[in-house]
Structure 1
């Protein structure tokens, strides 16, 4: 698949593993390099087909696993400490800095799935980004879950998941067939955010002074890259309110929220995860491609734009 393994050390020296799809020969200054930020506890391998697709379209691509997940997992997760803050401030930031150092002069872009879109705001180096595409990006505020599934999702993700994590020292997601095994700090962050994510750090073992919480929020405002946030109507996590709640933090980014229904694309279901499945190569993937390549939304999709800040006129 024209990809090679890469090893990146985070600022605290934690070893991260990923893969690089890069075109041979000297890097062209105008050729973008796309970093893929996975969803919570989804292995980077899941995005390999999409990475290969972007590479075939002329991009260089990096996929990687956050600490505690996939190829970046330690021998044991029992008691292993990792959090969303670590994934954003240390892991994604390390990959972004690595890309800037090893691929100088190339525009740096991100494709972010679910919490991957939230982690962008936590990275001190996010000002290096030139364009962002996100799919179902939010930070799991429970009131934003789809109303018809909210109770069952609360029981599954906000009751059973933290209970098992407390008992075992990590969440055995793989054994349950839900997702990858997950560090307990990530579970804590998933299950405790309020309407504003920074309020989770007011008290408890992860409490921060007010100034540090304010600095977290300011980090989101440091992003200047244009952002296209895609959501789908049958995504129980990525509801309209959930997407808009996260986008509001990126106050200095031009933000376009495009919301589609499966029926508009002639398919039965998309949901929170299926965008990156190869069956959508000819229908959904070109949306991301056009945005990353040209910064445009196809005119035929203009009627599905929920919000555009500031107003952006879709290309013909």
Structure 2
């Protein structure tokens, strides 16, 4: 489904600093709609090791269609990178509990009108439930959202991905004190704690948290009441349907819908894990997302899949 609207390029951004409760400041941008009553407020959560600027064209698109949008880099990445990466204590869970929580509180304070929403890519679509303030979210759109348990990787690619992200990444992190992803051409550099949580994460994500914290973490996930539209792509080797279902199974208090899109739906041979946020999809997928963000309406009803197979042990 595609509404024939020309993407606007009129919106501009304002650089901002987002203060976290533990004193860390995150770099980001605020993209303002050109109206006093925007359609709503959107926070864009990046994938692991992806700079926020990768999503700037999509943020500009949304602002041009009436939304206030916040983009930001997690601690350890891009504009939020510390002077010294080696042996950084930043962890994956910090991105949800501290960074996203700070971004959410800032956007909630700024909100002018309409719902408060999240667009989350990859782990960025799973992290919101870790934040104490997550019950404030009205609606979520996630793309390839999962927490990187290797058993959910695409079967034909599972062995190679396991060696890359769970063996090679762990070894390189041990050697350098951080993951030198940029040097290898494997995404951005990652803090040691983030890389190790990815490499050693098991079937259940909460087991990477200290035992005394696990119950509270699970309660925060259940407390999310937002409507969630979870998008999977058939050739995404990381965000497979089992991975999407596994992640969604923690959000039991939310209204959840999942859809499986195929490259052929957009006249493409391949999309993969990152493609939908490229501006080649501005006149197709990006336009379609407006139906969900404006109205809470699934633009791909024929692609909806049941969630009863949660993959949750």
* TM-score, reference length from structure 1: 0.91
Aligned residues: 298
Partner of 2:251, secondary structure, is coil
| CA distance in structure 1 between the partners assigned to 2:33 and 2:255 by the alignment | 30
Alignment correspondent of 2:23: 13
1:282 corresponds in structure 2 to 283
SS at match of 1:93: helix
Uncovered stretches (5+) of structure 2, i.e. residues with no partner: 1-10, 309-313
How far off its partner does 1:303 sit?
2.2
Which residue number corresponds to residue 32 of structure 1? 40
Asked if 1:208 is matched to 2:208, the reply is no
**Preserved contact between residue 254 and residue 308 of structure 1 (Cα < 8 Å):** no
- Cα distance, 1:187 vs structure 2: 0.8
State the Cα distance separating 1:264 from its structure 2 match. Answer: 2.6
**Residue in structure 2 matching 1:176, options 176, 184, 196:** 184
CA contact (8 A) 2:33 2:64 kept: no
The residue aligned with 2:4 is: none
| TM-score, scaled to structure 2 | 0.92
Q: After the TM superposition, which residues 1-316 of structure 1 pair with which residues of structure 2 at under 5 Å, given as runs? A: 1-23=11-33, 27-28=36-37, 31-103=39-111, 106-201=114-209, 207-209=210-212, 212-298=213-299, 301-307=300-306
- CA–CA distance in 2 between the matches of 1:218 and 1:180? 32
Q: Which residue of 2 aligns with 1:312?
A: none
Root mean square deviation, CA, Å: 1.4
Gaps of 5+ in 1: 202-206, 310-316
Aligned mates of 1:104, 1:302 — CA distance in 2: 31
**Offset at residue 288 of structure 1 (A):** 1.6
Deviation of residue 104 (structure 1)? 5.4
Q: Spell out, residue by residue over 1:215-237, the C-alpha distance to the aligned partner (whole angstroms, 9 max, x if none).
A: 11111111111010001000000
For 1:193 and 1:172, locate their aligned partners in 2 and report how far apart those are by CA, in whole Å.
19
SS of 1:186 mapped into structure 2: helix
SS of alignment partner, residue 163 of structure 1: helix
Instruction: Give me the whole-angstrom Cα distance separating, in 2, the residues matched to 1:303 and 1:100.
Output: 34
SS of equivalent to 1:66: coil
State the SS of the aligned residue for 1:46.
Answer: helix
Q: Distance in 1 between matches of 2:291 and 2:114?
A: 18
Q: CA deviation at 1:76?
A: 1.8
CA distance in 1, matches of 2:260, 2:111: 33
Q: Cα distance, 1:58 vs. partner?
A: 0.5
Alpha-carbon distance in structure 2 between the residues aligned to 1:104 and 1:265: 34
SS in 2 for 1:235: coil
Which whole-Å CA distance do the structure 2 matches of 1:181 and 1:130 have between them?
Answer: 32
Compare relative contact order (CA 8 Å, sep 6+) and give the higher one, 1 or 2. 2
For residues 303 and 128 of structure 2, the distance between their equivalents in structure 1, rounded to whole angstroms, comes to 25
Change (3 A) 1:179 1:124: same
Deviation at 1:117, TM superposition (A): 1.1
Structure 1 counterpart SS, 2:138: strand
